[in-house]
Amino acid sequence: MSKSDLLALAERGVERALELGADEAEVFLSVSMGRDVYSEGQRLKAVAPSSQSAQVRVAKGRRVAAAVATSCNRDVLEELVSRAVELASKVEEDPHWRGLPDPEPPLHSWVGYDEGVATAEIGWLAELVRGMIDEAQRTPGVKVTVASAGISVGRYAMANSRGVSVEERGTRCSLGIYLKAGEGTGGEWASSRSLLRDYYPIVDAAVKQALDASRASKLGETLKAPVLFRAKSFAQLLASLLVPAFSAMSVLEGFSPLANKLGQRVLGALTIVDDGAMSGGLATSFFDGEGVARRRTILVEDGVLKSYLHNTYTARRMGVASTGNASRGAGAVGVGPSNLIVMGGGYSESELEAEAALVADGSLLSVHTVNPVTGNFSVVISNPYAVKGGELTPVKPVTVSGNIYEVAALIKPARRVKDTRTGIYTPDVLIGGLTVSG
Amino acid sequence: MLRQNYLPVSEELMMREDLAKLALDEASRLGASFSEVRFEDTARELIVYVNGRVVTLSFQRSVGAGIRVLHGGSIGFASTSDLSSEGILAAVREAVKAAKAAAPGDRRLAPHPAKSARYRIEGVKRHPAVVPLEEKLDLVKRAYSVAKEGGAASATARYGAHYGVVEVYASDGTSVSAERLVVGVSAAVVLREADRVGDGAEAHGASRGIEVFEVKTPERIAGQALAYARDSLRASRPPAGYLTVITRPELTGVFAHESFGHLTEGDFVAAGTSPLTGKLGEKIASDAVTIVEAGFDERGGYVLLADDEGVPTRRVVLVERGVLKGYLHSRESAALLGMEPTGNGRAQSFNHEVIVRMRNTFFEAGDWSEEEMIQETKYGLILDKPAGGQVEEDGTFTFNARIGYLIEKGEIREPVRDVVLAGNILEMLKHVDAASKEVVLYTSPFGGCGKMGQMVHVGDGGPALRTTLLVGGEKR
């Protein structure tokens, strides 16, 4: 199906919904293709998934419903549209519904589509994986669990009954490796919109983690102390604990501790920006999940809450403009972040290390179980280091617990902002007053 | 016995046999030594009702095919949602190309016994596909009303269902179709009192029809969520450090799944990266520990009669009175270890390749009562309501409890909340010293188990279990 065919089909779906009695309609169609090679131990496996998604949202008055299918086929879309219109006639009114978004031009010109990624051969990805395994196993005692290299290419077309008619495309390339050295584990991964082929830093980081972990000893005590989170570790905490609280949907529904806190100091010295228009960003696009232009939004400035993340629904309900953060999933249009940037502070990493009792590196296990409703978190650090006399000594996994808002005044970001290659750009961050046990 | 209802009925015709033959012939022509087509036709229903308003009302249909081939000793996979002849043939060519990229290899697929069968989940009285939408909306509204009347500042009620059929055809004669079904209702409640916030959640899921909510009613589900939220409101952070911990059945299930089940998955064992590699027959736990993994169990949980390779699901005893007895296998992992497939080859959808996954993972009963276990605990915690978990390949595991209580001198004291539990499985299973008599199994259509980017529905459970774990909390 050519590019214009997809958009024409989306527009036709919108017309059909209106013919069937919908007052407003939106059709989102996407097509994606992936090529992934990964190893199970040292054995390679190659997969080439190809998927389509059709998502229809319609409103009859203030009654809204959605239907989703895994095909952009014309007949499937026809069935979806009628199902969505039928559902909308049965559901009750949403008193807060104020309609679909109006069309607007994009606010930037950067296209995250790399022809080199789109045309990468699966055989070449297999070579990368073999290279990663060989490189990792050059270090005696290291055993690869999984090494992977993959690309994905996607495009979407979206139309609504208010005149939104947009399409764009994107690429992504990812490399990752997880390995063991004795009883220690290490892992590193990276994603980019362009081709990634330099795997040495990824392998080196994972090997170092695993070797350090293999000689780790038990911390053997419970401390109330400052913990320095490495950028990638802090990014995981940010994504699970704070991002849900920034969602205006969570705020409206009473699930965010940041409700009614606009203008108040909530996060110490942190400045956090959502920027879906950033050149080179992993999550950059022209439009969000409902056709609103991606933009830059300051969420927190010097700890003071400035804005929530909005889609059109939450924005209209709260009387502000959408921040271009509509997300899509399972038929629902929700709120989600784009690129998140934590601004650098006034400290060097070594200054913060000197202040910390523990350095948190690697994965935060159980980070998906933190409580964004209260700000409570209790996670296990996979690769921690105890700081003693200026030296970093690896220790076995420890638990770190606290409440992010209660210790907000004790947060200190380092100066250098790092690309964690996960869509989050952050410095190392010191958080004081946490309980560490292991 | 439920088992009799699940006997395969092989007389019934398969739906996409002709298309499958086309694909298998093409794969063979391209030199594949084995090929397999997996068709999926499933639906997912979701209603999310937040603070008196339908936030999500969606119906998701998933139709497509996944193709696996073995070529030159390597495995390739491709998928398509284009079920025309051209679409299927293109996917076969992609799969062969992928296998060639991964070659050379030493992969094989272990044979399996049931070549031709159809597995239907019998005894379903009111299948979600035929129950009217109004009734499903009523389920979430009823749950919401209870939460609201109970003083909830915010409340979410959900209804979800996943159902349909997976058909598997392979060049070795496999011709199997199997039904998928799980329904559920959940309630989540937030209470506010002065500057304190309490939250609680409860869900009930089953591989059954909508009739399950006649017994486990939405009112009961929301009432339980409220009760947890009230305790949470006055709960403090738990003491940190190594403590005696009693896990209630739902939390025991996550312990079984996260701390142990993942490490018995044949792909990790074959790669030699599971700490359980080479330990079959060894004593790895106390006598109080028996862990089972099954496609179905009369006591509840998820029902999977044949996996996504068309292999009928076997009941696997992983640990029997402390001794490691078995691993979980797909046809791929079984071949690598010279063992038999157990029906643990699963994929999130047609768009995903089969990997080794759990079905229902649970500890078996002991001979204690929960009261006795509490009475004989001087100082510790009794914990409930899991919030997920994770395991690393060195055996370090974590799982979380949303709510629980301090135990002092054999008595339950104040509530505690948001507790992370951690340990190393090879040490920790040796510390299990008591299991209660009653086993409860759980499942849900809202989430499941994630592995390598794939999510599948699972079940887990067990009795109340007592052990020693590292608890993350406050320094007291």
* pLDDT tens digits along A312-363: 999 999 999 999 999 997 667 999 999 999 999 999 999 999 999 999 999 9
Looking at A149, A173, A205, which one is the last position of a domain? A205
pLDDT at A2 over 70: no
Superfamily of structural domain B2-233: PmbA/TldD superfamily (3.30.2290.10)
Q: Which residue has the higher pLDDT, B422 or A164?
A: A164
Cα-to-chain-centroid distance, residue B181: 13
Considering the domain architecture, whether residues A298 and A161 belong to the same structural domain is answered as no
A378:B473 CB<8 A: yes
B101, closest residue in chain A (CA to CA): A123
Which of A167-171, A173-177, A357-361, B51-55 has the lowest average pLDDT? B51-55
What is the spatial distance between Cα B426 and Cα B260, in angstroms, rounded to a whole number? 9
Considering the domain architecture, whether residues A146 and A232 belong to the same structural domain is answered as no
B190:A92 CB<8 A: no
What is the spatial distance between Cα A289 and Cα A312, in angstroms, rounded to a whole number? 10
A365:B82 CB<8 A: no
Q: What is the mean pLDDT of residues A144-171?
A: 96
Among A35, A39, A45, the residue to mutate for chain B (most B Cβ within 10 A): A45
B378 touches A at CB < 8 Å:
no
How high is the pLDDT of residue B5?
A: 30
Q: What is the ipTM metric for this complex?
A: 0.88
SS3 A139: coil
With respect to residue A211, please indicate whether it lies within any of the assigned structural domains.
no
Looking at A153, A182, A205, which one is the last position of a domain? A205
Q: To the nearest 5 percent, what fractions of chain B are helix, strand and coil?
A: 25, 40, 35
Considering the domain architecture, whether residues A135 and A244 belong to the same structural domain is answered as no
B193 touches A at CB < 8 Å:
no
What is the spatial distance between Cα B333 and Cα B318, in angstroms, rounded to a whole number? 16
Considering the domain architecture, whether residues A147 and A277 belong to the same structural domain is answered as no
How high is the pLDDT of residue B349?
A: 95
Considering the domain architecture, whether residues A98 and A143 belong to the same structural domain is answered as yes
Q: What is the mean pLDDT of residues A256-272?
A: 96
Of A49, A183, A378, the CB nearest to B418: A378
How high is the pLDDT of residue B8?
A: 32
SS3 A399: strand
What is the spatial distance between Cα B100 and Cα A123, in angstroms, rounded to a whole number? 8
Of A45, A94, A401, the CB nearest to B54: A94
B46 touches A at CB < 8 Å:
yes
Chain A residues touching residue B102 (CB < 8 angstroms)? 37, 44-46, 126
Q: Tokens representing B355? A: 């990997």
pLDDT at A1 over 50: no
SS3 B2: helix
Chain B residues touching residue A224 (CB < 8 angstroms)? 475
CATH number, domain containing residue A88:
3.30.2290.10
What is the spatial distance between Cα A363 and Cα B15, in angstroms, rounded to a whole number? 45
With respect to residue A15, please indicate whether it lies within any of the assigned structural domains.
yes
Considering the domain architecture, whether residues A197 and A271 belong to the same structural domain is answered as no
Task: Provide the whole-model pTM.
Answer: 0.90
With respect to residue A137, please indicate whether it lies within any of the assigned structural domains.
yes
Considering the domain architecture, whether residues A195 and A221 belong to the same structural domain is answered as no
What is the spatial distance between Cα A243 and Cα A71, in angstroms, rounded to a whole number? 31
Which of A115-119, A295-299, A337-341, B120-124 has the lowest average pLDDT? B120-124
Considering the domain architecture, whether residues A283 and A410 belong to the same structural domain is answered as yes
- Count how many domains chain A has: 2
With respect to residue A243, please indicate whether it lies within any of the assigned structural domains.
yes
Residue A3 confidence class, pLDDT cut points 50, 70, 90: low
B266, closest residue in chain A (CA to CA): A40
Of A45, A145, A224, the CB nearest to B273: A145
B472:A401 CB<8 A: yes
Residues of chain B with pLDDT under 50: 1-13
How high is the pLDDT of residue B393?
A: 73
How high is the pLDDT of residue B400?
A: 85
Chain B residues touching residue A48 (CB < 8 angstroms)? 76-79, 94-95, 97-98
Q: Cβ(B317)–Cβ(B290) under 8 Å?
A: yes
How high is the pLDDT of residue A263?
A: 98
Chain B residues touching residue A255 (CB < 8 angstroms)? 154, 156, 190
How high is the pLDDT of residue A434?
A: 96
B197, closest residue in chain A (CA to CA): A374
User: Rounded to the nearest 5 degrees, what angle is found at the Cα of B237, between the Cα atoms of B231 and B239?
Assistant: 125
Looking at A170, A205, A240, which one is the last position of a domain? A205
Q: Tokens representing B189? A: 């409640």
Considering the domain architecture, whether residues A231 and A150 belong to the same structural domain is answered as no
A46:B394 CB<8 A: no
Handedness of CA A337, A169, A152, A178 (dihedral sign): negative
How high is the pLDDT of residue B457?
A: 97
Considering the domain architecture, whether residues A312 and A197 belong to the same structural domain is answered as no
* Cα Rg of chain A (Å, integer): 23
Considering the domain architecture, whether residues A277 and A179 belong to the same structural domain is answered as no
How high is the pLDDT of residue B259?
A: 80
Distance from CA of A115 to the nearest CA of B (A): 20
Q: Cβ(A437)–Cβ(A398) under 8 Å?
A: yes
A332:B80 CB<8 A: no
pLDDT at A6 over 60: yes
| Mean pLDDT of chain A, nearest integer | 94
pLDDT at A370 over 60: yes
Residue span of the structural domain in which A269 resides = 217-438
How high is the pLDDT of residue B392?
A: 76
Q: Which of B34, B303, B359 is nearest to B168 (CA)?
A: B34
CATH 3.30.2290.10 domain extents, chain B: 2-233
Q: Which residues contact A289 (CB under 8 A, 6 or more apart)?
A: A28, A311, A326, A327, A328, A333, A336
Pairing verdict, β B345-346 and B411-424: unpaired
Phi, psi for residue A79 in degrees, rounded to 5: -65, -40
How high is the pLDDT of residue B2?
A: 28
What is the spatial distance between Cα A315 and Cα B388, in angstroms, rounded to a whole number? 32
| Mean pLDDT of chain B, nearest integer | 92
How high is the pLDDT of residue B12?
A: 47
Of B76, B275, B388, the CB nearest to A46: B76
Of A76, A213, A331, the CB nearest to B46: A331
A50:B79 CB<8 A: yes
Q: Which amino acid is at B85?
A: S
B190, closest residue in chain A (CA to CA): A255
How high is the pLDDT of residue B3?
A: 27
Considering the domain architecture, whether residues A273 and A379 belong to the same structural domain is answered as yes
How high is the pLDDT of residue A330?
A: 66
Q: Tokens representing B96? A: 């062969």
With respect to residue A210, please indicate whether it lies within any of the assigned structural domains.
no
